[in-house]
Structures are given as C-alpha cells and as structure tokens.
C-alpha cells in the first residue's frame, strides 16, 4: 500500500510542476523539469 501512496504523490507533484511550468515547456527553448519525475515510480 505504501508503494501506491508514494507513486500517487510523485504523480501529484508531476501534475503540479507541469501546470506551474507550462509557459516554459512549449516554446522555442523547451524546459521540462517535470519530466525528470517520470522515472521515480520505477526507482522507488
């Protein structure tokens, strides 16, 4: 159960970062900091 909670928290942080950093993610210079979180559920 703890593993699912941890994965859900990482997913929630991902969604928040995507929403906050949206202006920087889709421009001439793409900065997608939230994508670094996609591997965390696999590692932990």
What is the average per-residue pLDDT within 14-28? 84
pTM equals 0.68
What is the average per-residue pLDDT within 20-26? 81
Give residue-wise pLDDT tens across range 1-20: 888 898 888 889 888 988 88
Q: What's the pLDDT score for residue 34?
A: 77
Q: Which residues 6+ apart lie within 8 Å of 37 measured at CB?
A: 10, 13, 14, 17
Domain definitions of the chain by residue range? 2-43
7 vs 11: CA distance, rounded Å: 6
Q: Coil, helix or strand for 17?
A: helix
More confident residue, 27 or 11: 11
17 vs 5: CA distance, rounded Å: 18
């Amino acid at each position: 159960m703890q593993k699912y909670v941890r994965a859900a928290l990482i997913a929630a942080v991902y969604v928040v970062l995507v929403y906050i950093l949206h202006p920087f993610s889709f421009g001439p210079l793409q900065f997608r900091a939230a994508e670094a979180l996609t591997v965390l559920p696999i590692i932990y």
